[in-house]
Amino acid sequence: MTKNIIKIIVAITLIVTLVIVVENNRVNKVKSESKVEAYQSKIDSLMNNQSRYDSIINNIEVKTFELSYNIEKNNNLIEKNNRELLKIKKQYNESISNVNGYNYNQLDSFFSDRYK
């Protein structure tokens, strides 16, 4: 009879141990799933941030291209204006050099044209 009682106690102990192990595994699985969900949420948040940053970078690249285009256009306009100014300066220098050979009427016309 004591052998049966010992067998029953051992059996109960094994069953309780088995229940504890199974429950611990279930709790650990739930904790693991919870951690996985938390990490997945962080990954999703990082992906959203990455998308937002990619969009910002794209907008910056577009604006940079537009600014570069405008700078190039303005540089070309400056060069064109400088060439025109050089032509005008050359024309005035030639006119001023020719003043020595002008008579009174030509000088009067020259200065009245120049200071209109």
Diameter of the chain by CA atoms? 151
Instruction: Please tell me the predicted confidence (pLDDT) of residue 73.
Output: 97
3-state secondary structure the chain: CHHHHHHHHHHHHHHHHHHHHHHHHHHHHHHHHHHHHHHHHHHHHHHHHHHHHHHHHHHHHHHHHHHHHHHHHHHHHHHHHHHHHHHHHHHHHHHHHHHHHCCHHHHHHHHHHHCC
Whole-structure pTM value: 0.50
Across the range 76-92, mean pLDDT stands at 95
Q: Which pLDDT value is given to residue 116?
A: 64
CB 102 within 8 A of CB 110: yes
| Spans of all domains in the chain | 2-99
